[in-house]
Amino acid sequence: MKDYAEVTLEMINRYNRPGPRYTSYPTVPAWKNGSFAEDYTHYLQREGQQDTPLSLYVHIPFCSRLCTYCGCNHFITRSVCLVDEYLDTLELELKQTALHLENRKTIQQFHLGGGTPTHLDIPQLQRLHQMVSEYFDFAPDGEMALEAHPRVTTNDQLELLYELGFRRISFGVQDLDSQVQHAINRDQTIEQTQRTFYKSRELGYSSINIDLVYGLPRQTVETFEHTMAIVNEMRPDRLAIYNFAYIPNMFSAHERAIQDNDLPDPESKVAIYLASIRFFTQVGYRMIGMDHYALETDELTVAQNNYTLHRNFMGYTTLRGLSQIGIGVSSISDFGNGYFQNEKDLQSYMQKIKEGEIPTIRKKTLDADDMLRREVIETLMCQCQLSVSEIEENYQVSFPQYFANEWETMKAFEAEGLLEFRGNTLQLTKLGILFMRNVAMPFDRYLQSMGTNRHFSKTV
């Protein structure tokens, strides 16, 4: 089995090309654009006839300043009135959504994403929770999670959120080096990060994640090793170490504020990535698929051991099979065989909701081939292996025949050392996990037609 030390610059150059992260399949660029209010209503009403719980995602787009590395849908403001107006809009959408769902109101998973959810002050956070509680019921054993920025998250906010039932929190740290932070317009000190982290521990948050990013401007192996050492001292339950998705033709902040010559070259970037893998696996973390790490006792590790790990728009999760309802600007709903996305422009989103419209602007209905390919890609991304016999049994296909071209590519990956054939199972090697997106991409039938250079970051 090839290991990380055997990665060559030639191999990096060959595989380091634009590709999806596969938080969904088919990926968003393959969805249809238009107005799909009637279709979305139909899906909600169909969900209302089921008796299983739901996953609810609420998008809070606001930040007080722009971090120039960011590719999320965000809106920079210090206006309390605008945030209150947005909460008014969320309440209308929650009411509208609950009406179509009829009696199906139990939420097993609740996630606040952004932007910066802790941009909301104490009264606004209380109001948001009250709004959701008015239209939905939180399952007693449900999961409540949020994303937070250590620099703007106060002790009072942490205490309130804990009282409201949140037990999972993810802190965006990215990098603790002052020069790197300056290059991405961020001024988050080590002390602020530690204060927020340890206060969360003290309050009793059961799962704390820290996000880091490699490939940022002015970042080196040495500076990132210093960041990793400090993070390891805090000992988060989970880590997400993301590849900086530098896409200047999609994100104007990248084009305006980040200079090409400040970015690590491909060889240096991979050296940073490999250093992070070696460091965290040596200090007791398990690499969970792409980007993510968890302690051996964490639920993600247990789920991977039990082959129950799942991947969705919020990343890796232990809750498989839940329909996800997205609330807020740009939010995405996932119904298993259909995706919908809300309007991405803040003012257009709020205006449509106020006028009683359902603001869906993108849709994708999955056919049988999409469902099969999604299962293959998600299994590879979550379990780092694929049982060919299970796929054949569940979908009544002959895998080598149905995926004839892909099968030949898998054999080429085997010769390269990215995977091994173990009986009827494709098993990713350690090297294959490094190039996981590349191994999954041959199963994506939309890639060639959508133009990967425009839509996706590079895979390493």
Q: What pLDDT, in 10s, does the model give residues 63-85? A: 888 887 777 767 787 788 999 99
Report the percent of the chain where pLDDT is more than 70: 94
Model confidence at 435, in pLDDT bands (50, 70, 90)?
confident
Question: pLDDT class for 212, splitting at 50, 70, 90?
Answer: very high
Tokens read off for 60 = 């809070």
Q: Going by C-beta distance under 8 Å and a sequence separation of 6 or more, which residues neighbour residue 163?
A: none
Q: Residue 460: pLDDT band by 50, 70, 90 thresholds?
A: confident
The pairing of beta strand 168-174 with beta strand 207-214: parallel
Q: Is residue 391 predicted with pLDDT exceeding 50?
A: yes
Question: Is the confidence at residue 253, as pLDDT, over 70?
Answer: no
How are beta strands 54-60 and 324-327 bridged, if at all?
A: parallel
Going from the N-terminus, what domains does the chain have, and what CATH number goes with each? 23-365 (3.80.30.20), 368-445 (1.10.10.920)
Is the pLDDT assigned to residue 419 strictly greater than 50? yes
Residues in the chain, how many?
460
Is residue 265's pLDDT more than 60? yes
φ/ψ bin of 289: left (φ > 0), alpha (ψ from -120 to 50), beta (otherwise): left
User: 423-435: b or e for each residue (b if 16 or more CB lie within 10 Å)?
Assistant: eeebbbbbbbbbb
Count Cβ atoms below 10 Å from residue 220 Cβ, excluding itself.
16
> Which residue is listed with tokens 């409201």?
164
pLDDT of residue 250 exceeding 70, the answer is: no
Q: Which residue has the tokens 């170490």?
A: 241
Residue 119 has pLDDT above 60, yes or no: yes
User: What is the rounded CA–CA span in Å between residue 24 and residue 362?
Assistant: 14
User: Do residues 287 and 281 make contact, with C-beta atoms less than 8 angstroms apart?
Assistant: yes
Contact 69, 258 (CB under 8 A): yes
Work out the average pLDDT over 384-409: 95
CA–CA separation, 134 vs 301, rounded Å? 35
- Dihedral sign for Cα atoms in the order 45, 51, 55, 58: positive
Lowest mean pLDDT among 108-117, 221-230, 296-305, 315-324: 315-324
CA 194/CA 260 separation, integer angstroms: 31
Per-residue pLDDT tens over the stretch 329-374: 999 999 999 999 999 999 999 999 999 999 999 999 999 999 999 9
For residue 251, the model assigns a pLDDT of 45
- Percent of residues, the chain, with pLDDT higher than 90: 68
pTM over 0.85, yes/no: yes
Q: What's the rounded Cα separation, in Å, for the pair 230 and 69?
A: 22
